[in-house]
Amino acid sequence: MSTYARANTSAAWYQDNFPGAVMDPNAGVLHTTEGTSLPGYSGGATAPNYTAVPDFAAKRLRWFAHFPDERSSRALQNDAGGVETNTLNVVQVELVGTCDPRTAASWRAKGARFIFWPDAPDWALADLAHFIADMNRRHGIKVQGPGTGRWTPYPESYGAGGQRFSFTAWRNFYGWCGHQHVPENDHGDPGALDWGRVERMAKELLAPDPKPEPKPKGPRPVAKWRVEAAKKAGIQNAELAARACRKAGLPFWVACALLEKESHGRNVFGHDQGGAGWPGQPVTKERFQQFYREVLNGATSNGVGPCQITWAGSLIQGKRDGGYFREMLEMGLDPWDPEENMVFGFALLRKHYNALDDSWRAAGTAYNGRASYGADFLAKAKEWKARLKIKGTLNPKLDRRPAVFIK
């Protein structure tokens, strides 16, 4: 079972109460909530798979998952004796806002902040397109609509309008449509959504880059004897660390200093006071997912993995946005995987080093947040440079291009 990486899977998760039918997603339905905030959905009884809530300050959509992609949700009407709707392999999305021009006019008069989805801002359509592209990558849902000109404006779209599918057309549809298109339903949302723009944006995200950015050269492959020396000095997962260095563009001797400070390369949870997780115990996918749900809901974060990635975002009204963990997942990096954890941690340290006048002391301080950490990190870096017989300056000029993450 899977969900969109950008989605919060704990704040409004209903799968435990409404398990639903197992699906192989091949189509999607877009709704509008006709409200301005995350609905309660009667405790999940009428919930879709996802809700997208506008964050006007950040100019992005905040995604909430209610059911896994491979389980049916509950936002469509389904009459007896006709066709299946909710369970016909369809992923459903509620877009917070309205498609009704009269509602929009009323809300504007009251000074409310909302999205009128037929005239949605570029950032909202771009975030929706990112979701559509992700559904194509992970499930193969086609990036296509029900046909040119068939996203009918509301209220003309209400009821049995000409845009609504027949039973046969619904069974044979693969792509994205609106609530207004689904048979056995009379709702007209999301109205005249600019699907053409969403489709173009999604296809651009899926198109291969004709001129990909060159991979940073980074350090040369680490000599085997240096990897063995790191092992003898107590660094676990040293081979993985050597590979992660090349991907992140960080010298191996600096990486060893960081690992000695953080975990000695062990893939474990940290010991932060009051931190969530399993202090000192191995990090697994299942444990991380439970830990991540807890910190999103306001629990104190904790170090994760060899680089002890910790920052989960600021606590705002009892919630966090995921911080570095969300960034990793959006990059396609698994925080519970020791090599991918090191790739992210090493790249983060290199970013601090480049931004802080090529100073390992300053980079270490930025990584941990304490000046004493930075001073000790610098001392350990010098020790590792000598131990591994590295020639040249203590403060080399590193590649300043973004690291290229390769699975």
Each residue of 39-84: pLDDT tens digit? 999 999 999 999 999 999 999 999 999 999 999 999 999 999 899 9
Averaged pLDDT, 164-170:
93
Q: Is the pLDDT of residue 407 over 80?
A: no
Task: Pick 406 or 307 by higher pLDDT.
Answer: 307
Q: Is the pLDDT of residue 38 over 60?
A: yes
Q: How confident is the model at residue 395 (pLDDT cuts 50, 70, 90)?
A: confident
Q: How confident is the model at residue 402 (pLDDT cuts 50, 70, 90)?
A: low
Averaged pLDDT, 167-189:
95
Domain ranges across the chain: 7-206, 224-387
Residue 162's pLDDT is 85
Rounded-to-integer distance, Cα 293 and Cα 286, Å: 11
Q: Percentage of residues in the chain with pLDDT exceeding 70?
A: 94
Q: Which CATH architecture has domain 7-206?
A: 3-Layer(aba) Sandwich (3.40)
Residue 304's pLDDT is 97
Could you report the per-residue pLDDT of 186-237, keeping only the tens digit for each?
999 999 999 999 999 999 999 876 666 555 455 578 999 999 999 999 999 9
Averaged pLDDT, 299-312:
96
* Tokens of residue 54, six digits: 């506008």
Q: How confident is the model at residue 315 (pLDDT cuts 50, 70, 90)?
A: confident
- State the CATH class of domain 224-387: mainly alpha
Q: Is the pTM of this model over 0.85?
A: no
